[in-house]
């Protein structure tokens, strides 16, 4: 008998013997039961129904807890965290302290990523003006976005628990500073499904040359089925890796191959009940449909010259401008959650590229044009009425100038500051032309109407039609949610 047949018979015997069942079943059945309990919240518990939905429409639209103000989200994350002191949070009292030694009360009991000893205070590096009917303060770094302030709702009293990039990014996007939790986009897709099952319901676009510090975990699905994870789309080359057919493989051959693989996966699911098998079937089917839909959706060359001029796009290149335009194309085709990560906003001042008087200016110019274009484009197409746009980083920056080894550096920068950060939202369900909360007179700590990042998450889910305490996933004996056991709706930003 050939060795491979002996191995097959041995494996089959193990599955059939009572001794093997008793040895493995004590943990195996329990784990399988818990997994199935969790999966039932997402799909329903009937095996036939699971397989049918995986084959047909596993991510179809679902009902929220109440009528939603927003149908979809575009979340613009400036990875590294732009300085609120140079953009939106004007502090004239801070300007008066520029160059003076930092008060001891600012340093006592505080932890910093790099500051050592006694740093100098650092006033705003660029002039501010008030704009629009709302009188919002904006620096001269954002001349185009300043024309849109009456459509924005600024949140100036946000704070977080984390002062390093990766944990802070995980916390704001997954609700936990540790890996393993579903991203906000995954929760939105899990709760609402998508309007276009020929495209991923949660799409991720990355620019700046690098992924965020927390890596791809910030768009993962954590412990919920992986069909809800973010799908990264690229602005150059193949939009979604491995979605196309290899050379020599026709669409008909791919269809026949997927049917054969699907039959095997269905048999595996009926025998073992692993919900990830259903996810695998869904992903194969989605990938097949994407071969037709993705090339059209991501082809920026179809846009007129006036749109390219508005955004500053260059088709075929990977850029933040291209990703902003791509985000608009995706949401108008029914994608539920589009997440943009733009790396390069960590303005420590350790070098010219990351200095407030260096690379920061270039980042602002690119972001100013593209984000303004996105808002204008959404508005002129009637999409801003039911699309929520969110902009921000993972924390704020210090009112002190960064020093390393206790010495002032050549270039100007600021250290991480979890105590106060500024973000803004626009579009569906948001009080336009308003400012919620305030930091103290130096922009160091959230002071008025303080709001934790869990409160921001609860508010975004509310605008999507969910009570954040009810959008849960049952795992290992308890219900999990994006906001963990925290979070409150920020009522002051909801129209």
pLDDT tens, 48-60? 454 454 444 557 7
Percent of the chain with pLDDT over 90: 69
> Dmax over Cα atoms in the chain, in whole Å?
88
pLDDT at position 254, please?
66
CB 416, CB 164: distance < 8 Å = yes
Who wins on pLDDT, 256 or 36? 256
* Average pLDDT of the residues of the chain: 87
DSSP conformation class of 121: B
- d(CA 37, CA 35) in angstroms, rounded, equals 5
Strands (E), 182-309: 202-207, 231-233
pLDDT at position 250, please?
72
What does each C-alpha distance from 21 to 18, 28, 152, 273, 282 come to in angstroms? 5, 9, 61, 16, 30
Token representation of residue 421: 């950060």
- Whether the per-residue pLDDT at 164 is higher than 70: the answer is yes
3 state DSSP class of 61: coil
What does each C-alpha distance from 170 to 161, 184, 345, 418, 454 come to in angstroms? 11, 10, 17, 14, 12
Grade residue 31 by pLDDT with cuts at 50, 70 and 90: very low
Give exposure, 188-227, as e/b (b: 16+ Cβ within 10 Å). Answer: bbbbbbbbbbbbbbbbbbbbbeebbbbeebbbbbbebbbb
Residue 34 burial (CB count, 10 A): 14
What does each C-alpha distance from 212 to 10, 103, 274 come to in angstroms? 47, 33, 32
3 state DSSP class of 28: helix
Grade residue 406 by pLDDT with cuts at 50, 70 and 90: confident
CB 130, CB 356: distance < 8 Å = no
CB 399, CB 84: distance < 8 Å = no
* 465-495 confidence digits (pLDDT tens): 999 999 999 999 999 999 999 999 999 999 9
- Whether the per-residue pLDDT at 133 is higher than 90: the answer is yes
Residue 388 burial (CB count, 10 A): 24
CB 425, CB 69: distance < 8 Å = no
How far the first Cα of the chain sits from its last, in Å, is 74
- d(CA 146, CA 132) in angstroms, rounded, equals 8
- Backbone phi and psi for residue 188, each to the nearest 5 degrees, phi listed first: -65, -40
- Whether the per-residue pLDDT at 32 is higher than 70: the answer is no
CB 74, CB 388: distance < 8 Å = yes
- Whether the per-residue pLDDT at 448 is higher than 90: the answer is yes
Provide CB contacts within 8 A for 271, sequence distance 6+.
Answer: none
- d(CA 464, CA 467) in angstroms, rounded, equals 9
Residue 490 burial (CB count, 10 A): 23
- d(CA 294, CA 304) in angstroms, rounded, equals 19
Going 369 to 375 to 377 to 380, the CA torsion angle's sign is negative
DSSP conformation class of 183: P
CB 387, CB 73: distance < 8 Å = yes
User: Within a 13 Å sphere around the CA of 347, how many CA atoms are in the beta-carbon half?
Assistant: 32
CB 423, CB 456: distance < 8 Å = yes
Provide CB contacts within 8 A for 352, sequence distance 6+.
Answer: 358, 359, 411
* Mean pLDDT score, 248-275: 74
What does each C-alpha distance from 94 to 55, 156, 227, 355, 398 come to in angstroms? 60, 16, 48, 19, 11
DSSP conformation class of 146: G
* Closest by CA position to 307, among listed 374, 218, 210: 374
CB 398, CB 417: distance < 8 Å = yes
* 54-103 confidence digits (pLDDT tens): 444 557 788 899 999 999 999 999 999 999 999 999 999 999 999 999 99
- d(CA 233, CA 236) in angstroms, rounded, equals 9
pLDDT at position 44, please?
37
| Weakest mean pLDDT among 38-47, 175-184, 308-317, 430-439 | 38-47
CB 134, CB 393: distance < 8 Å = no
């Amino acid at each position: 008998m050939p060795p491979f047949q002996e191995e097959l018979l041995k494996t089959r015997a193990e599955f059939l013997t009572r001794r093997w069942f008793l040895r493995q079943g004590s943990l195996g059945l329990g784990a399988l039961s818990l997994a199935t309990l969790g999966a039932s919240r997402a799909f329903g518990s009937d095996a036939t129904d699971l397989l049918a939905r995986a084959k047909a429409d596993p991510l179809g639209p679902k009902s929220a807890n109440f009528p939603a103000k927003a149908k979809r989200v575009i979340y613009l994350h400036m990875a590294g965290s732009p300085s609120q002191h140079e953009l939106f949070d004007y502090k004239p009292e801070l300007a008066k302290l520029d160059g003076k030694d930092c008060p001891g009360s600012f340093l006592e009991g505080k932890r910093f990523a790099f500051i050592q000893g006694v740093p100098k205070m650092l006033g705003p590096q660029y002039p501010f003006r008030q704009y629009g009917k709302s009188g919002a303060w904006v620096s001269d770094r954002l001349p185009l976005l300043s024309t849109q302030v009456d459509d924005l709702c600024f949140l100036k009293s946000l704070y977080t628990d984390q002062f390093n990039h990766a944990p802070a990014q995980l916390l704001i996007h997954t609700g936990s500073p540790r890996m393993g939790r579903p991203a906000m986009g995954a929760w939105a897709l899990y709760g609402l499904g998508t309007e276009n099952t020929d495209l991923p319901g949660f799409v991720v676009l990355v620019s700046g040359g690098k992924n965020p510090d927390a890596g791809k975990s910030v768009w993962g699905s954590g412990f919920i089925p992986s069909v809800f994870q973010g799908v990264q789309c690229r602005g150059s080359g193949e939009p979604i890796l491995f979605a196309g057919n290899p050379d020599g493989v026709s669409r008909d051959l791919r269809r026949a191959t997927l049917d054969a693989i699907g039959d095997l996966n269905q048999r595996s699911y009926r025998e073992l009940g692993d919900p990830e098998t259903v996810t695998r079937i869904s992903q194969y089917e989605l990938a097949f449909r994407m071969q037709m839909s993705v090339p059209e959706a991501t082809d920026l060359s179809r846009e007129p010259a006036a749109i390219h001029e508005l955004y500053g796009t260059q088709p075929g290149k990977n850029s933040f401008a291209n990703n902003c335009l791509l985000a608009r194309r995706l949401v108008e085709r029914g994608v539920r959650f589009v997440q943009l990560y733009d790396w390069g906003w960590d303005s420590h001042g350790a070098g010219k590229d990351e200095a407030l008087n260096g690379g920061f200016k270039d980042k602002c110019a690119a972001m100013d044009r593209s984000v303004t274009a996105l808002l204008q484009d959404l508005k002129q197409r009637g999409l801003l009425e039911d699309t929520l746009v969110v902009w921000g980083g993972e924390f704020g920056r210090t009112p002190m100038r960064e020093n390393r080894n206790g010495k002032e550096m050549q270039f100007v920068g600021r250290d991480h500051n979890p105590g106060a950060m500024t973000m803004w939202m626009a579009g569906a369900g948001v009080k336009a032309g308003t400012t919620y909360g305030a930091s103290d007179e130096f922009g160091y700590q959230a002071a008025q109407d303080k709001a934790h990042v869990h409160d921001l998450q609860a508010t975004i889910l509310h605008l999507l039609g969910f009570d954040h305490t009810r959008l849960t996933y049952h795992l290992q004996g308890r219900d999990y949610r994006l906001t963990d056991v925290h979070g409150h709706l920020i009522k002051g930003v909801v129209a």
